[in-house]
Amino acid sequence: MRQRGEGTQRAKIEAMKAGSEDEADIKKQIEVLNDTLTVLPDARHRLQKYATELRDHLAEGHQDVDVAVRSEGEQNPEVQVILEARQLLREVDQTLGTQTADEEPADDAAGTGGTADVGGAMPLQVTLASGKEVEVTAAAGDKVADLRQEIAEKLDQHPRCVELNHAGGVLADEQIVPDSQITVVLVRLPWIGADPDQVKDLGGGEFVIEGDEKKGSKCNALCEVGFSSGTEYFEVEVLEGSGAFIGVTTRNGFLEGYKIKGLFFGGPGNLSNGSGGLRTQFGEQVKAGSVIGVALDLTDESTVAVTFWEGDVCLGEAFRGCPRQPGAMVFPAVCANKVQDRFKLSLRRNPRKQTLKTPHPAIGCWDLQRLVIAGETVSLDAALAVKGKGKGRGYAVDAEAPPAMGNIIMTLTEKPGTPLFRLSLKLGNTLMTTVQTNSGPIGAEEIQLGMVAGTMVMAPPPLMDLEQSFSKALPLITSWKVTTDSLQMRGGDVEIDFRHYDAPPEEPVSSVTLP
């Protein structure tokens, strides 16, 4: 469907052909008018977009944007630019023949280039910025949110990537669909930096870290597409670099370096609030090729819940009930490490379909029952008594009643896409290594353990002694046998026996308050 402005200009051309005797003048003026037909729609779109961005920038914090514009128009230079842009829009609209914010809708279809329906009302006209029409079932009077959703599905876009422009402004979800032309603009997902000199927006949701590298500091980026309600999902692909943290923050929480405050997953696979670690081994290391999905639950206007994904693997709910200001928007954010780190954001309507498979029988938690080295059984009583007194925070004491006995738990998790498992054993410190399966039937494989590493915390002597024993014993293991209830490790003169342990689930983090 043509805009009536185009019809008006065509009519002018035809009139000039009929009424002028100067052929050269006719050709020149026809050329000018044809150029006008080509340029004006694009100019109008760019002016409209610019005015909208300026209004959004100015009116942050204002309940009524128009009131802000009127009240500050004479004092604020930015508002002067907005008002000038609006005037230019009106002039362009007058030339094109399109309706401006100050015009009333036409009462009939005569001369508009459109056709009235049976009831006499104009059908809803929705076009892309290019002029291509988008057929919709929504009608004037429906909710803008419903129209946006319909258009997003037709264009295979996330609703947040679809901006609906009408009469020089952007339609909000809570508004009603007007009965005149609506222009669809696909949002480009712009990124900004806490330090503007460090983040370069490449378009299409992509950005790169540039400038001078600040040793020991993070480069923080925020995508200016916010979410405030319902459920949302987006993904950030790591194109270059490693160790980034990915998640969400608020405008007030978006600061430089470690001052940023938000809900993040990344680095070696940990959870963070932006300035410090919260939980280790939540997932795998974030590196080039990683695709981190972020599922947001904003159904409670005063809290935020976040579930993270790595590719098509759901890592689980990481944050729940984290307070925010009522209705406050949260934004995708990345904490990068180095210059030339590069990322790309994609908004998706739903998370990826998770690949379901039967886990290896060794996956899970195992309670230590027996440790034998060189034919001698290592006593666990003293270490278990310490664990029972406070899980490494106290000493067993002499008493008439025997001390409460704790547990020494080994946890095995799978490293997706590899034949490796991650092993962690919680004593006074946490011992960590990898397990690689080589040959043999599932649950009875030949295995090889990697180098044993651990945290460096002073612990009670019984636990420190047991840590030394395990650090020497684990690298000697060459096989395991796993059943539903037990796991046996063997190698050289070492025997280690465990039984299955139903660990209580870790609750999502709820201690982070978003500013």
Domain match, 286 and 240 both: yes
Domain match, 196 and 292 both: yes
| pLDDT bucket at 30, cuts 50 / 70 / 90 | low
Count of domains in the chain? 4
Q: What backbone phi and psi angles, to 5 degrees, belong to 93?
A: -60, -40
Domain match, 178 and 209 both: no
- For the ranges 63-67, 94-98, 429-433, 507-511, the maximum mean pLDDT occurs at 507-511
pLDDT at 266: 97
Structural contact between residues 255 and 220, judged by C-beta atoms closer than 8 angstroms: yes
* Cβ-based neighbour number of residue 262 at 10 Å: 30
DSSP labels, 179-205: SS-EEEEE----EEESSTTTEEEEETT
Taking 70 as the threshold, does the pLDDT of residue 282 lie above it? yes
Domain match, 330 and 456 both: no
Which CATH number goes with the domain that contains 204? 2.60.120.920
Average per-residue pLDDT for the chain: 80
Structural contact between residues 220 and 333, judged by C-beta atoms closer than 8 angstroms: yes
The residue type found at 335 is C
Dist. CA 27–CA 382, nearest whole Å: 101
Domain membership of residue 159 as a residue range: 126-186
Which tens digits make up the pLDDT trace of 338-383? 999 999 998 887 888 877 778 899 999 999 999 999 999 999 988 8
Domain match, 176 and 251 both: no
Domain match, 375 and 311 both: no
Which tens digits make up the pLDDT trace of 62-86? 444 444 444 444 455 555 555 566 5
Domain match, 212 and 342 both: yes
Any idea which residue has 């037709």 for tokens? 154
Structural contact between residues 133 and 117, judged by C-beta atoms closer than 8 angstroms: no
Domain match, 130 and 224 both: no
Q: What backbone phi and psi angles, to 5 degrees, belong to 305?
A: -125, 140
**Final residue of a structural domain among 348, 382, 417:** 348
| pLDDT bucket at 51, cuts 50 / 70 / 90 | low
**Stronger pLDDT, 365 or 60, i.e. the higher one:** 365
Give me the long-range contacts of 429-435 (CB less than 8 A, separation at least 24): 429/454, 429/455, 429/456, 429/457, 429/459, 429/467, 430/454, 430/455, 431/467, 431/470, 431/471, 431/474, 433/474, 435/362
pLDDT at 131: 82
DSSP labels, 376-430: EEPP-HHHHHHHHHHTTSS-----SSPPPP---EEEEEE-TTSSEEEEEEESSSE
Predicted TM-score of the model (pTM): 0.63
Dist. CA 365–CA 48, nearest whole Å: 59
**Final residue of a structural domain among 348, 380, 399:** 348
Domain match, 200 and 180 both: no
Domain match, 155 and 292 both: no
Taking 50 as the threshold, does the pLDDT of residue 190 lie above it? yes
pLDDT at 105: 42
CA 132 to chain centre: 31
Domain match, 280 and 395 both: no
CA 131 to chain centre: 32
- Say if 102 falls within a structural domain: no
